[in-house]
Amino acid sequence: MNIQISVPEDMKSYLENEDQEQVFERNAMLLYPFIHNLTISHGRAAEILGVHKTDLIEFYDSMGIPYLDQSEDELMEDLTTLDRIMEGVK
């Protein structure tokens, strides 16, 4: 599908003659805000782009965008909760 978008004139030279990898990168970056605001999942974005979820996650990682958006304190709290749950299972 083709959709026309308005971009600054100076971007034109960067968007002309894109190869397949550049098209993937552009489209992945266009989808990222929808992943970030939880409109779609990484898995759904990967389906849309026609790649494996892990490949998309690795691409975002290479761009400095983490898969898990969690602070160290939040992670430690989750691990503490998991420990309490696991103790109750025993």
Domain of residue 69, residue span: 19-89
Instruction: Assess if residue 62 is contained within a domain.
Output: yes
Residue 57 in any domain: the answer is yes
Q: To the nearest 10°, the Cα dihedral for 51, 32, 54, 11?
A: 60
Q: State residue 26's pLDDT score.
A: 93
Give mean pLDDT in consecutive 10-residue pieces for the chain, a chain of 90 residues: 89 86 94 96 97 97 89 89 87
Any domain includes 49: yes
For residue 14, tell me if it sits in a domain.
no
CA distance 21 to 37: 25
pLDDT at residue 37, rounded to an integer: 94
Q: Is residue 58 part of a domain?
A: yes
**Is position 8 within any domain?**
no
pLDDT value, residue 89 = 79
